[in-house]
Amino acid sequence: MTNDQRPSSTNPRRRFLSNLGLMGAGAVLAGCAPTIAQQPSQDNGLDVPILNFALNLEYLEAAFYAAAVGRLAEVQALGGSAAITLPAGFNAGDNNPAGLSADILSIVQEIAEDEINHVKFLRNVLKSAAVNRPALDLSASFAAAGSAASGGLITGFNPFANELFFLHGAFVFEDVGVTAYKGAARFIDDQSANGVLEQAAGILAVEAYHAGTIRTLLYQRRAQAAAAGLDVATVVQKISDLRDAVDGSDDRDQGIVGGTSQNPNTVAGAANIVPTDQNGVAFSRTPRQVANIVFLQVGATKGGFYPNGISADAGTATLLGL
């Protein structure tokens, strides 16, 4: 039995979703189904809209990692002048505001470089069709996500407060990026000469490397105390549960520890660095499911990490049902 086939009555994530009052997720997604669920035909005209949606996600990831290594100005210089909100007291000129250890800092520097390059690459592919960077929130959004995931136990979550919190903040994004790129593949007909689909697959691979790295670093600390009396593995699982609660009516997100009811298709006593289905295949998310996560609310058109919504051309807005 796969993730998506398990009965909801025995699924702790569905109970979690119900407690949050989000049981309307399935209805919302069903209403968008004609737009976002159909397999597109060739020459469908969706290459630009889906790449612009990806660009919105890359703006966010680039800002997050760049802020941690003193390179935020590079992101601010790309795609307009929309505000990037940071936690109170954050020093944008600090090249290590979260106090990362030397090894972790070197990893984050590499990821930041990749994410900045993703923004530049997509803007170059899209050229004049590229959307500007939307307003981004790296402060209240994390606080809201931390509170929602922990049932109010964690308040004022700041991913730049220390190294462990930064890794938890990175976990919020990374798996989402992997599932977003995989889900986007069906919308790219790639009739152009520049090999859009192949290049998008290359970005997917990089995002998967990033996600595996963050999950490994968190797994190595799984028993360490994190916040509010919770250990790292528990906080990670709660973030996973929150993503699963808002991305739709099925169950596709997984934490880092195998052999639990929340992480099926895993081996008891083993790590769960790579979340997959029973065939060892990574999961997909539709654009709308991804939007639900980054907006932190089912069916929302703005909020969370995008306080004013994403920068959307007409095609992207249609993809998301905006």
**pTM for this entry:** 0.85
Give CA 226 to chain center in angstroms.
Answer: 21
Question: Does residue 20 sit in helix, strand or coil?
Answer: coil
> What would the mean pLDDT of 291-320 be, rounded to a whole number?
92
> What would the mean pLDDT of 125-131 be, rounded to a whole number?
94
Confidence of residue 190 (pLDDT cuts 50, 70, 90): low
Amino acid 63 reads: A
pLDDT at 41: 41
Query: Considering the chain, what percentage of its residues have pLDDT values greater than 90?
Result: 69
Give the number of other CB atoms < 10 A from CB of residue 30: 12
Confidence of residue 35 (pLDDT cuts 50, 70, 90): very low
pLDDT at 251: 76
Tell me which residue of 262, 229, 290 sits closest to 16, measured CA to CA. Answer: 262
pLDDT at 238: 95
Note whether 63 and 173 are within 8 A (CB): no
Note whether 281 and 313 are within 8 A (CB): no
Confidence of residue 139 (pLDDT cuts 50, 70, 90): very high
Task: State the chain's mean pLDDT as an integer.
Answer: 85
Inter-CA distances, 85 with 58, 72, 92, Å: 16, 11, 11
Note whether 260 and 270 are within 8 A (CB): no
Q: What is the Cβ-side half-sphere exposure of residue 126, based on CA atoms within 13 angstroms?
A: 24
For residues 233 and 189, the model is more confident at 233
Residues in Cβ contact with 150 at an 8 Å cutoff, skipping those fewer than 6 apart: 227, 228, 230, 235, 238
